[in-house]
Amino acid sequence: MHLIMILTALTVAWCLRASETNFEGSWSVRWRRSLFLFLFPPLLIFMTAIAVLCMGPQGNMGGMYTGWFSYVLTLISLAIFDILCVKLAFGGWQSVKSVRNCPLVNIEGKQVRLLNTEALFAGQIGFWRSELVISQGLLANLSPEHLESVFAHEQGHYHYKDTFWFFWLGWVRCCTAWLPNTDALWQELLILRELRADAYAASRVDPLLLAESLLLVVSTTPVSSEIFCAALGCDRLEQRIEALLAQPEPTPKLNFQFWNGFLLAFLPLVTVIFHN
């Protein structure tokens, strides 16, 4: 019976992820759709695994006996998920440790870490309390006005705690890389993260300055693409500049009605009461 539950969860997860991915519409519509398709399938699989773990390898459910095979399979899967989480956390910790070796300087009244490289780089690096890291190349090539727009963009990442939340989303990505459209949804979430930070900055500085800053760094190679890093990237540059030049779109908060849809992923836990 446990094996049937696992196969059902995997089938539902696969079908949801394999459904047509439409990356059109307003920011809020794209964000809700992408986040649901990205998070719901792994959450359903995880809750099914927890339910099997709680019921144990012995007993029966619905007149069908359970066995060790599905129980061991669940234990192995959860162990792999834990190992992936530890691996990502260790890599992130090494990045944070490396950043803290960079000198702490005061630029325009802001405490930032100065990276010794000629590449143009600015990013928040860390976990919950991330730090702003900028390169010497950025200071040498950008005017004070452009630097202010870059700082405003990175403040947007800090305000929304992007390094924290995208660490966990990155973990989900690693755990479900075998599901269809995982990378496409991940890339969509990354660009939506940048659009949100751009909108935050545009409400505080001239959007044209930020657009010019993006154009200035477009030809450089990113210094880091770590999950613990929320940098001034130039992915889908045309889309980002069009959004900056257009009428600014408010960034709505995810309401409780949106999260209600995720309650369906907890249905496998209900099956525990039918196990004896």
Nearest to 101 by CA among 88, 91, 115: 115
Q: What is the pLDDT along the chain (276 residues), one digit of tens a residue?
A: 677 888 888 999 999 988 876 677 777 788 888 999 999 999 999 999 888 888 777 656 555 556 677 788 889 999 999 999 999 999 888 888 888 888 888 887 788 898 888 888 888 988 888 889 988 888 888 888 989 999 999 999 999 999 999 999 999 999 999 999 999 999 999 989 988 998 899 888 888 888 888 888 765 545 444 555 666 665 567 788 888 877 666 666 666 677 888 888 888 888 776 666
Coil vs helix vs strand at 16 = helix
Is residue 210 within 8 Å of 152, Cβ to Cβ?
A: yes
- How many C-beta atoms lie closer than 10 Å to residue 1's C-beta? 20
Is residue 44 within 8 Å of 13, Cβ to Cβ?
A: yes
Per-residue DSSP letter, 20: -
Give the orientation angle of helix 237-245 with respect to helix 182-202, to 10 degrees: 30
Residue 273, burial from CB neighbour count under 10 angstroms (0-12, 13-18, 19+): exposed
pLDDT of amino acid 274: 65
232 vs 26, 50, 72, 107, 249, CA distance in Å? Answer: 22, 38, 44, 17, 20
* Backbone phi and psi for residue 60, each to the nearest 5 degrees, phi listed first: -145, 165
Strands 104-107, 229-231: parallel, antiparallel or unpaired by DSSP? unpaired
Nearest to 152 by CA among 214, 218, 100: 214
* Backbone phi and psi for residue 133, each to the nearest 5 degrees, phi listed first: -120, 130
pLDDT of amino acid 221: 47
Give the orientation angle of helix 182-202 with respect to helix 27-55, to 10 degrees: 130
pLDDT of amino acid 231: 62
Q: Which two tokens stand for residue 211?
A: 């657009």
| DSSP per-residue string spanning 123-163 | EEESSSS-EEEEEHHHHHHS-HHHHHHHHHHHHHHHHTTHH
Is residue 191 within 8 Å of 239, Cβ to Cβ?
A: yes
User: Taking the CA of residue 276 as centre, how many other CA atoms within 13 Å lie in the half-sphere pointing to its CB?
Assistant: 3
Residues with Cβ within 8 Å of residue 143, at least 6 apart in sequence: none
